[in-house]
Amino acid sequence: MSIGRILAMKGVDVYTATPNQTLQEAAAELVEKGVGALIVLGADREVLGLIGERDIITAVARHGAAALQEEVGRHMQVNCRFVHEHDSIDEASDTMTDERCRHLPVMRNGRLAGVVSIGDIVKYRIEAIEAERMALRHYIATA
């Protein structure tokens, strides 16, 4: 199965931030949307990075509560990896493991098309295992 299939099932909503927003604003957006990361976009909608819960907590731990008034651009993950819609779920999973990241922007024709999380990957794998289990049970029962 491809990453595009996951996007088709979960939807392509992507929540974003700009590099000049404060960490407080980003944190509020994470809470409001119930997500773990925001994709940081430039003025021309190019992907500049990603800001996640861990990044905000790290900033507060290192700089105190005043960090919440600092810009996302100072604390976001830059040069973050991304995947394409046609990439396999295994490729995305390997990238997440190798890079120790929980969210990957999904690109289509050089533009942001969505985002997948480790939760999306785990959900797919559990559903695939359950489908295989049911198929095996059916096969055994009818043999």
**Can you give the pLDDT of all 143 residues of the chain as single tens digits?**
789 999 998 888 899 999 999 999 999 999 999 999 999 999 988 999 999 999 999 999 999 999 999 999 999 999 889 999 999 999 999 999 998 999 999 999 888 999 999 999 999 989 989 999 999 999 999 87
Provide the 10 A C-beta neighbour count for residue 125: 14
What pLDDT does residue 143 have?
76
Kindly report, residue by residue over 18-35, the tens digit of the pLDDT.
Answer: 999 999 999 999 999 999
Domains for the chain: give ranges and CATH numbers: 3-142 (3.10.580.10)
Q: Burial level of 129, CB count in 10 A (0-12/13-18/19+)? A: exposed
Query: How far, in Å, CA of 66 to CA of 68, rounded?
Result: 5
Inter-residue contact 102 to 80 (CB < 8 Å): no
Reported pTM: 0.85
Q: Quote the strand ranges of the chain, DSSP E.
A: 16-17, 37-41, 47-52, 77-78, 83-84, 103-108, 111-117
- Provide the pairing of β-strand 83-84 with 103-108: parallel
